[in-house]
């Protein structure tokens, strides 16, 4: 089983549109799936908007724990204040002589538990989101929603990936395609962990080149083979040339260039992959050719 992660240095480069198109190309026959799909952008998941799930199984995601003070047991000694580095200990709203914890400021470090001589503080697990196993016309999709203001996005990404891998192993499905988060932070690293190949989607602009270099650097740090595709390549040919020069200088393949195509917007409005609704469009043809090259690289990587 192989893992392909699709990344971008920033949001809005077209990575989700390309992921949806790959899902359509790979799983044209949902009765005999070739790939399991994962939306690893748990902070702003949107692959499900295109994949149109017709059945979803929700599951609670329990992340970290926050401290909570038992008002009856608290003596108001203030020992917890001395060890709290986050200024999360406040006077109790009912009895100011006692203490309460601000759940927004609390980091869950548990230092106050060890400092409390009365044992009046306990850690309470927090539900931080929901993850889903959904059935779509293009195969099984694992995706999640992290609650607003919550942390542990990397842990949630790892969780949905693990369930996708287990299903792929159990069903002898050879590929997991991950629509990764933007940037190079913790959730991106979680999405890349264990991946066999990375496709970085970029745009021909100065910021696009800058973010591409960061994404490539991260993949190289974790020794993950990578390729690049340039979206909207024809809107700034000089920028596309700079990207190709950079990719060549670091030994990265540019597997294709996708032209600007207004039909991609139309396909998004109709919630369909571009390769399904406009299969003869220039962008759909370019994405299909990119997939053919990627499939060949994944096969070579598997054999090596």
What number is the average pLDDT over the span 78-95? 94
Question: Where is pLDDT greater, at 237 or 11?
Answer: 237
Whether the predicted pLDDT of 244 surpasses 80: yes
Band (302; pLDDT cuts 50, 70, 90): low
Tell which residue, 231, 188, 191, 183, has the closest CA to residue 210: 183
pLDDT over 90 percentage in the chain: 71
Band (11; pLDDT cuts 50, 70, 90): confident
Whether the predicted pLDDT of 58 surpasses 70: yes
pTM attached to this predicted model: 0.86
Look at strands 139-146 and 121-136 and give their pairing: antiparallel
**What is the structure's pLDDT at 29?**
62
Domain ranges of the chain: 2-62+129-303, 71-119
**What is the structure's pLDDT at 25?**
92
Q: Nearest-5° angle of CA 79, CA 84, CA 147?
A: 135
What number is the average pLDDT over the span 126-130? 91
What number is the average pLDDT over the span 59-70? 92
SS (H, E, C) the chain: CEEEEEEECCCCCCHHHHHHHHHHHHCCCCCCCCEEEEECCCCCCCHHHHHCCCEEEEEEEEEEEEEEECCCCCCCCCHHHHHCCCCCEEECCCCCCCEEECCCCCCCCCHHHHHCCCCCEEEEEEEEEEEEEEEECCEEEEEEEECCCCCCHHHHHHHHHHHHHHHHHHCCCCEEEEEEEECCCHHHHHHHCCCCEEEEEECCCHHHHHHHHHHHHHHHHCCCCEEEEEECHHHCHHHHHHHHHHHHHCCCEEEEEECCCHHHHHHHHCCCCHHHHCCCCHHHHHHHHHHHHHHHHHHHHHHC
Whether the predicted pLDDT of 190 surpasses 80: yes
Range from 15-19, 30-34, 199-203, 235-239 carrying the lowest mean pLDDT: 30-34
Tell which residue, 62, 64, 63, 111, has the closest CA to residue 86: 111
**Sequence-ordered list of residues with C-beta below 8 angstroms from that of 20, at least 6 positions apart, any chain:** 47, 50, 51, 138, 273, 274
Contact (CB, 8 A) for 50 and 20? yes
**71-119: same fold as 2-62+129-303?**
no
Mean pLDDT across the chain, nearest whole number? 90
**Looking at the domain that runs over 71-119, which CATH code has it been given?**
3.30.70.20
pLDDT in tens, 30-57: 566 689 999 999 988 888 888 888 888 9
Band (250; pLDDT cuts 50, 70, 90): very high
Band (252; pLDDT cuts 50, 70, 90): very high
Whether the predicted pLDDT of 71 surpasses 60: yes
Band (227; pLDDT cuts 50, 70, 90): very high
pLDDT over 70 percentage in the chain: 96
Residue 232's Cβ-count burial label (10 Å; 0-12, 13-18, 19+) is: buried
Is 3.40.50.300 the CATH classification of the domain at 2-62+129-303? Answer: yes
pLDDT in tens, 155-165: 999 999 999 99
Whether the predicted pLDDT of 304 surpasses 90: no
Band (135; pLDDT cuts 50, 70, 90): very high
Whether the predicted pLDDT of 68 surpasses 80: yes
Band (182; pLDDT cuts 50, 70, 90): confident
Whether the predicted pLDDT of 287 surpasses 70: yes
């Amino acid at each position: 089983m192989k893992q392909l992660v699709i990344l971008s240095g920033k949001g809005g480069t077209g990575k989700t549109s390309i992921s949806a198109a790959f899902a359509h190309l790979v799983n044209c026959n949902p009765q005999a799936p070739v790939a399991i799909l994962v939306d690893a952008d748990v902070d702003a998941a949107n692959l499900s908007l295109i994949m149109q799930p017709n059945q979803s199984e929700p599951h609670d995601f329990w992340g970290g724990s926050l401290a909570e003070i038992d008002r009856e047991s608290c003596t108001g000694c203030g020992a917890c204040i001395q060890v709290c580095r986050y200024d999360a200990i406040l006077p109790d709203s009912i009895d100011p002589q006692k203490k309460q914890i601000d759940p927004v400021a609390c980091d869950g470090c548990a230092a106050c538990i060890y400092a409390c001589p009365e044992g009046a503080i306990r850690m309470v697990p927090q539900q931080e989101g929901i993850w889903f196993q959904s059935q779509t016309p293009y195969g099984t999709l694992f995706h999640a929603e992290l609650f607003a203001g919550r942390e542990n996005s990397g842990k949630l990404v790892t969780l949905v990936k693990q369930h996708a891998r287990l299903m792929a192993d159990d069903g002898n499905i050879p590929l997991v395609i991950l629509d990764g988060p933007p940037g190079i932070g913790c959730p991106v690293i979680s999405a890349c962990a264990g991946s066999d190949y990375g496709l970085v989607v970029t745009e021909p602009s100065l910021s696009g080149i800058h973010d591409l270099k960061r994404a490539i650097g991260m993949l190289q740090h974790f020794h993950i083979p990578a390729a690049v595709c340039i979206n909207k390549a024809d809107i700034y040919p000089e920028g596309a040339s700079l990207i190709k020069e950079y990719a060549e200088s670091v030994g990265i393949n540019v597997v294709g260039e996708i032209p600007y195509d207004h039909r991609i917007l139309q396909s998004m409005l109709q919630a369909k992959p571009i390769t399904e609704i406009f299969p003869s469009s220039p962008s759909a043809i370019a994405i299909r050719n990119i997939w053919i090259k990627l499939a060949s690289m994944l096969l070579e990587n598997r054999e090596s």
